[in-house]
Amino acid sequence: MAYEMIEVETQGPAAVIRLNRPAALNALCDQLMQELGQALRAADADPAVAAIILTGSEKAFAAGADIKEMQARRFPDTYLNDFIGASWEAVLTIRKPVIAAVAGFALGGGCELAMMCDMILAADNAKFGQPEINLGIIPGAGGSQRLTRAIGKSKAMEMVLTGRMMSAEDAERAGLAARVVPVADLLPEALKIAGKIAGLSAPAVAMAKEAVNAAFELPLREGVRLERRLFLGLFGTEGQQEGMAAFVEKRKPVFK
Ligand code: CO8
Domain assignment of residue 81, given as a range: 6-198
The reply to whether 32 and 82 lie within a common domain is yes
Whether residue 256 lies inside any domain: the answer is no
* Nearest CA, atom 47, ligand 1: 64
Question: Does 94 share its domain with 207?
Answer: no
Residue 146 has pLDDT above 80, yes or no: yes
Residues 34 and 141 in one domain: yes
| CA 110 to ligand 1: nearest atom | 50
Is the pLDDT confidence value at 1 over 80? Answer: no
Ligand 1 geometric centre to CA of 159 (Å): 17
Q: Which residues line ligand 1 (CB under 6 A)?
A: 24-25, 27, 63-68, 83-84, 88, 105, 107-109, 131-132, 135, 140-141
State the CATH number of the domain containing residue 164: 3.90.226.10
The confidence band for 81, taking pLDDT boundaries of 50, 70 and 90, is: confident
pLDDT at residue 87, as a whole number: 86
Best of 67, 71, 102, 146 to mutate for ligand 1, by most ligand atoms within 8 A of CB? 67
Q: Give the residue from 64, 17, 60, 57 showing the smallest Cα distance to 38.
A: 17
Residue of 25, 59, 77, 137 best suited for mutating to test ligand 1, as the one with most atoms within 8 Å of CB = 25
Residues 133 and 90 in one domain: yes
Q: What percent of the chain is modeled with pLDDT above 70? A: 100
| Domain match, 103 and 221 both | no
Q: How far apart are CA 42 and CA 46, in angstroms?
A: 6
Mean pLDDT in residue range 5-10: 98
88 and 160 within one domain = yes
- pTM here is 0.97
Same domain, 187 and 107: yes
236 occurs within a structural domain: yes
Nearest-angstrom CA–CA distance, 118 and 83? 24
Kindly report, residue by residue over 226-245, the tens digit of the pLDDT. Answer: 999 999 999 999 999 999 99
Total number of domains in the chain: 2
Please, which pLDDT band fits residue 18 given cuts at 50, 70 and 90?
A: very high
Q: Is residue 254 part of a domain?
A: no
- Asked whether the predicted pLDDT for residue 3 surpasses 90, the reply is yes
When the pLDDT of each residue in the chain is averaged and rounded to a whole number, the result is 97
Kindly name the residue from 35, 132, 172, 227 that is annotated as catalytic: 132
What is residue 212's predicted lDDT score, i.e. its pLDDT?
98
Cα→Cα distances 219→154, 201, 225, 226, 242, Å: 22, 28, 10, 11, 33
Average pLDDT value for residue range 164-173: 98
- Residue of 27, 51, 62, 112 marked active site: 112
Is 46 in the same domain as 127? yes
**Residue 102 pairs with which residues in a beta bridge?**
122
